[in-house]
Amino acid sequence: MTLHRFDVGELPATPWKNGGGVTREIVCQPQSAGLGAGMNDFDWRVSIAHIASDGPFSSFPGVDRIITLLSGGGVHLLSEGGQVNHRLDMPLAPFAFAGEAPIHARLLAGDCRDFNVMTRRAVCSASLQVVRSACDGPAASQGLLMAVQGHWQLEGVSAETLAPQQGLWWTGAAMAWRLQPQGDDPALLALTLHFH
């Protein structure tokens, strides 16, 4: 079992090819995959994007995506054929769409930050929950937890504490966490991967 902790503020920022923002990659599995020559080799990938201007989303054929607004005014996602027409303007409301959809993003009120999940459709699927109260998370062999608001106590194979903008991800063994919030208005993103 491999457990990795992360702090969003310490993740390296990679500029987009079109100059419209930057991405902070949290995890890309398998680790041999990445955004270099083999950028389409991942099974699942999680990142945080800072969208600074209007522009097209990169196309990822065969990939399912979930985007969640973290902060800022949000974006209007519109595909050429109109299959996708969604205002992503409510924080912590995940929206799923196909990665091959030719989507243009238009900022609604200034720049924004988004939590992005991508999964290889032929390999796995993702479930993303917004947790706001104490609960037992589902067991999964691969997954990720990130505190968005409030501090969180996690009880599992180990005891972990997450401050806002901190998280952890794991691979290699089925893990279930007891999630316990502390403080006012808590929110945590809980991602589990389901392999075919």
Tell me if 47 is assigned to some domain.
yes
Same domain? 16 vs 102: yes
Strand pairing partners for 106? 76
| Structure confidence at residue 37 (pLDDT) | 41
d(CA 71, CA 50): 10
Q: Which CATH number goes with the domain that contains 148?
A: 2.60.120.10
Residues 113 and 129 in one domain: no
Count of the separate structural domains present in the chain? 2
- pTM beyond 0.85: the answer is yes
Domain that holds residue 72: 10-120
Query: Do 87 and 133 belong together in one domain?
Result: no
Q: How far apart are CA 109 and CA 107, in angstroms?
A: 6
pLDDT averages per 10-residue partition of the chain, 196 residues = 93 83 93 57 94 90 97 95 93 96 94 97 97 94 96 94 97 93 94 94
